Amino acid sequence: MKSTISYQDAGVSIDEADRAVAAIRKMARATFTKGVLTDIGSFGGCFALPKMRQPVLVSSVDGVGTKLKVAFAANRHDTVGEDLVNHCVNDIAVQGARPLFFLDYLATGRLEATVAAQVISGIARGCSANGCALIGGETAEMPGMYLEGEYDIAGTIVGVVEKPAILTGSKVKAGDILLALPSNGLHTNGYSLARKLLFETAGLKLASIPAETNTPLGDDLLRVHRSYLGAITALTKSKTLLAAAHITGGGITDNLPRVIPKGLAAAIDTKSWQVPPLFNLLRSIGNVPEDDWRRTFNLGVGMILVVPKARADAAQRTLRRIGEEPWIIGEIVPQRRAKPRVSYL
């Protein structure tokens, strides 16, 4: 008689998946807003658009990169999901959109329901904080695809904005002021270089407390990527925001030009803020070239907002009222021939 081979024998546990889904369903339901029309478990998520004159859907998809390697090493999985949501929220908020719903993807070699629940708890927390409904997703168990104890996550967000209110940067002009908002560490970019420098080159551990930072590296590296939705919404309501740039991979150098019209450039005052110690530590360990350093890390700047010069003081007051700590980081200037779109002064 032939021996029987089950799905479990192939490395996939349907029972473990059921346990994971049961935990996920409860957390996802807690994020539901009035637009949600279907429950978790439907083949597709349905969401009713709010009543608007000219609604435009804005979508984005992203992951958290090799920050996951830090989460694996620390055996801490409750923050990376929140990183994922906030990153995606920021990417559509800079176009003037408010988030409607989110879908997640979690893939692993061997599913552990408790780990999956921790990851999704971060996603649900991020969704709730941003008024975004978690209406569906996929949890994939694929034996042989990932190393033991590892997984990958990605997310898709959909938001909405009135067509006339889309932030394109087209109204930006020379003389406009650049306001910066602080980051909360590396956010979700530069981790491949950071891990190489800290753990391979310097031989440090997650529990190490460098004199420069006076904080365990694990805590510094797992700080949650901030959401700037509240700041952008406040300035949008006061009609003082012309454009916004989410400072992610590529740093200020590559992200700010994405919202500046051709013929214009940004002059950044490097003396306007103090780069957090962790970024200086990273640079010193590897003697990282300045240009590479600026294009790999956010250097303490998570968001840059473009406002009219005449409204700059009012914009800062608005931001401070909601607990933000803005500062003037530079201004928009005419681009000089053969000069870069971003100059550091």
Domain boundary among 144, 165, 186: 165
Query: Over the stretch 153-172, which tens digit does the pLDDT of each residue have?
Result: 999 999 999 999 999 999 99
**Segments forming the whole domain that contains residue 111:** 14-165
pLDDT of 339 > 90? The answer is no
- pLDDT value of residue 5: 45
140 plus 86 within the same structural domain: yes
What's the pTM? 0.92
195 plus 154 within the same structural domain: no
Q: 222 in a domain, yes or no?
A: yes
CATH number for the domain spanning 334: value is 3.90.650.10
Q: 3 in a domain, yes or no?
A: no
- pLDDT value of residue 11: 56
Query: Over the stretch 178-219, which tens digit does the pLDDT of each residue have?
Result: 999 999 999 999 999 999 999 999 999 999 999 999 999 999
182 plus 154 within the same structural domain: no
95 plus 131 within the same structural domain: yes
Q: 200 in a domain, yes or no?
A: yes
158 plus 183 within the same structural domain: no
Confidence of residue 338 (pLDDT cuts 50, 70, 90): confident
Spatial CA neighbour of 90 closest among 233, 238, 257, 222: 233
DSSP lists the bridge partners of residue 63 as: 154
Spatial CA neighbour of 90 closest among 224, 187, 229: 229
Q: 71 in a domain, yes or no?
A: yes
CATH number for the domain spanning 33: value is 3.30.1330.10
Signed CA dihedral, 45, 138, 29, 15: sign only: positive
112 plus 192 within the same structural domain: no
How many beta carbons lie within 10 A of that of residue 75, not counting itself? 10
Mean pLDDT across the stretch 329-340? 92
Query: Over the stretch 46-71, which tens digit does the pLDDT of each residue have?
Result: 999 999 999 999 999 999 999 999 99
150 plus 24 within the same structural domain: yes
Q: 2 in a domain, yes or no?
A: no
Q: 336 in a domain, yes or no?
A: yes
Residue found under tokens 């700041």: 231
Q: 171 in a domain, yes or no?
A: no
- Number of domain units in the chain: 2
Buried b (16+ CB within 10 A) or exposed e, 20-30: bbebbeebbee
Domain boundary among 165, 194, 213: 165
66 plus 182 within the same structural domain: no
Spatial CA neighbour of 192 closest among 275, 14, 68: 68
